[in-house]
Amino acid sequence: MIIKRLKSYNYKRLNVLLIMAVLALSYIGIKVVDSASMGGGHGKKQLLGVIIGVAGMTFMALVDYNFLGKYYWGIYIFDLLLLALVIVKGDNHMGAKRWISIGGGLSFQPSEVAKALLIFFLAKLLTVCIKQVNKLKFLALYAILCGMHLLLILAEPDLSTTILTATIAFTLIYCAGLSYRYILTAVAVLIPLLAGLYIYISQPGLNDKSLIKPYQRDRIMAFIKPQDYSDDRYQQDNSVLAIGSGKLYGKGLNNNDPSSVKNAGFLPEPHTDFISAVIGEELGFIGLAVCISLLFIIVVLCIITGLTAKDFFGKLICMGVASWIGMQTFINIGVATEILPNTGVSLPFLSYGLTSIVALYGGIGMVLNVSLNRGKKES
Q: What is the pLDDT of residues 37-77, one digit of tens each?
A: 887 788 999 999 999 999 999 999 999 999 999 999 999 99
Q: What Rg do the C-alpha atoms of the chain give, in angstroms? A: 21
Kind plus residue range of the DSSP H or E element containing 66: helix 65-68
Is 83 inside a domain boundary? yes
Cis peptide before 110 (omega within 30 of 0): no
Span 165-185, pLDDT tens digits = 999 999 999 999 999 999 999
- End-to-end CA distance of the chain: give it in Å, rounded: 11
Is 50 inside a domain boundary? yes
Q: Which of 28-42, 187-201, 220-234, 345-359 has the highest mean pLDDT?
A: 345-359
Is 278 inside a domain boundary? yes
**If you average pLDDT over every residue of the chain, what do you get?**
89
Distinct helix (H) and strand (E) counts, the chain: 14, 3
pLDDT of residue 375: 59
Quick check: 119 and 168 in contact, CB under 8 A? yes
Cα–Cα distance for residue pair 84/339, rounded to 1 Å: 33
b/e sequence 161-195, b meaning 16+ C-beta within 10 Å:
bbbbbbbbbebbbebbebeeeeeeeeeeeeeeeee
Using left for φ > 0, alpha for ψ between -120 and 50, and beta otherwise, residue 340 falls in beta
Cα→Cα distances 157→205, 216, 236, Å:
19, 10, 22
Strands (E), the chain: 91-93, 96-103, 106-108
Is 95 inside a domain boundary? yes
pLDDT of residue 223: 81
pLDDT band at 108 (very low <50, low <70, confident <90, very high): confident
Cα–Cα distance for residue pair 12/282, rounded to 1 Å: 38
- How many domains are there within the chain? 1
Give the β-pairing of 106-108 and 91-93. Answer: unpaired
DSSP 346: P
Range of the domain at 89: 12-373
pLDDT of residue 269: 80
Is 4 inside a domain boundary? no
| Angle subtended at Cα 367 by Cα 363 and Cα 370, rounded to the nearest 5 degrees | 140
Is 71 inside a domain boundary? yes
Residue 379 has pLDDT above 50, yes or no: no
Quick check: 298 and 363 in contact, CB under 8 A? no
Cα→Cα distances 15→21, 82, 269, 340, Å:
10, 31, 34, 33
More confident residue, 293 or 264: 293
Cα–Cα distance for residue pair 61/369, rounded to 1 Å: 4
Is 1 inside a domain boundary? no
